[in-house]
Structure 1
Amino acid sequence: MVGSAPTASQAAAHEALFGDALACDEVRPAAFLTGSTSGARLRVDAANGEALLRALAIVEDGLRSEEPEPGSDNTMHRLEAKLDLLTSLVAGLVPAQDTLALLPLRWSARGACLRVDTPVPAGSVGTLRVQPVDWLPSTLVLPVRVLACELVDGLWQLWLRFDSLPPALEAALERHLFRIHRRAIAETRRR
């Protein structure tokens, strides 16, 4: 928000989404799409999003000590996760997927903030599509509600609250954002 002081609605939306939550600032392939989605579609998107984030966690970090199942082999879990991601990648190549634009994105497990070309009224519902990692073109599709929309430096800044995420998906998203945050700190220390 360079060049202008935040308005009351911007400050309230920012506090609601990022107040005491871990938030990450990234440039990610992302898009906001307006319109409501059916309950069945929301459940499918939530299940796919949770599976994607869990597989990414296993591939990137391996199983943590609090996650192993009795008698399980971490190597087997990692291999299964890699196969799940490969299957997702191949499935995504069959239908031509929309190309997402690279956008500056601030997000937490509560919601996201990004800038778009056209205004969207507060209270509108839609979905946030975001590619969570660079090396896999799979996307998360998250239901959102617009908390605020204001013109900032020639673009419309949207504050989007995640709407009715299942607890397991919210927890997986929180862990994903924590890994991003941890990598950013490690990168800073290496400099």
Structure 2
Amino acid sequence: MNATGTSAALAEQALFDDALSCELQLPAQLFSDPGAGLGRLPQAEALLAGLSQVEDLRMDDTGEERGELPLLTQRMDAKLDLMLMLIGRLVSRSYDALPVRALRWSHRGVRLDAPASPATVAGDTGVLHLQPSEWLPDHLELPVTILAEAAAEGGMQRSWLQFGELPAGLSDALEKHLFRLHRKQVAASRR
């Protein structure tokens, strides 16, 4: 195994061993300005807390999933989803939307596939802009350190990005969000 393969394997271990993770396609982009995301950490926590409340409201008091709710409630929920999606599209037209990327996400960091960029190398710091839900037009800004990079298929570059020091509340909110995403993936695979 070459040095790039070794560092990629070590980065994979550091981010995902014994950690709940999800493989997703989400809007995300790495920016090289290391201090830009630090001021937005409280907003990231608030965004994930709000997203958590919305997701939790989709269950009734007994914890039953959406499919077991009364038909009228399901229809209202579907209409609300549609309205939020349409509002999100309108909002995204007013600013440059993040490109959709393949990624693997844990509470420790992200493995991101993006077009190759010679501007970044392992050890650099930056800010990961990540939209935590496809229907929500806002994004998280999280400080990251590039652990490793390797060439991927189709001229893409795979980067392993470790989150910087996050406040305890944001770290907890990230773990809860990832748990919900994982639970949705498991439920979808059972269907």
Same fold (TM over 0.5): yes
Contact 2:108 2:163 survives alignment (8 Å) = yes
Q: How many residues align?
A: 160
* Cα separation, 2, equivalents of 1:35 and 1:99: 18
Task: State the shift of 1:93 in Å.
Answer: 4.3
What secondary structure does 1:26 align onto?
strand
Which residue in the other structure is 1:166 paired with?
Answer: 167
Distance in 1 separating the partners of 2:11 and 2:17: 9
Distance across 1 between alignment mates of 2:96 and 2:174: 23
Match of 1:70 in 2: none
Q: Compute the TM-score of the two structures, normalised by the length of structure 1.
A: 0.76
Deviates more, 1:54-63 or 1:178-187: 54-63
Coordinate RMSD, CA, aligned: 2.6
Q: Identical aligned pairs, as a percentage? A: 41
- Tell me which residue corresponds to 2:67: none
1:46 aligned onto 2:47: no
Q: Distance in 2 between matches of 1:183 and 1:94?
A: 25
Give the 5 Å matches for 1:19-168: 19-37=17-35, 42=38, 44-62=39-57, 93=91, 96-117=94-115, 118-119=117-118, 120-153=120-153, 154-168=155-169
Q: CA shift at 1:35, angstroms?
A: 2.1
1:64-108 C-alpha deviation (Å, 9 max, x unpaired): 99xxxxxxxxxxxxxxxx9xxx9xx89x94994321111001111
CA distance in 1, matches of 2:185, 2:26: 15
Amino acid at match of 1:104: A
- How high is the TM-score relative to the length of structure 2? 0.76
Q: What's the CA shift string for 1:33-73, capped at 9, x where partnerless?
A: 012216xx51x3110000010111111113999xxxxxxxx
Higher helix fraction (1 or 2): 2
Q: Per-residue displacement from partner, 1:115-136 (whole Å, max 9, x unpaired)?
A: 2221421010101111111111
Partner Cα separation in structure 2 for residue 122 and residue 94 of structure 1 = 32
Q: Secondary structure at the match of 1:7?
A: helix
Distance (whole Å) between structure 2 residues aligned to residue 177 and residue 142 of structure 1:
15
For structure 1, the residue ranges without an aligned partner over 5 or more in a row are 1-5, 66-81
Whole-Å separation in 1 of the counterparts to 2:92 and 2:145: 31
CA–CA distance in 2 between the matches of 1:96 and 1:160?
A: 29
For 1:75, the equivalent position in structure 2 comes to none
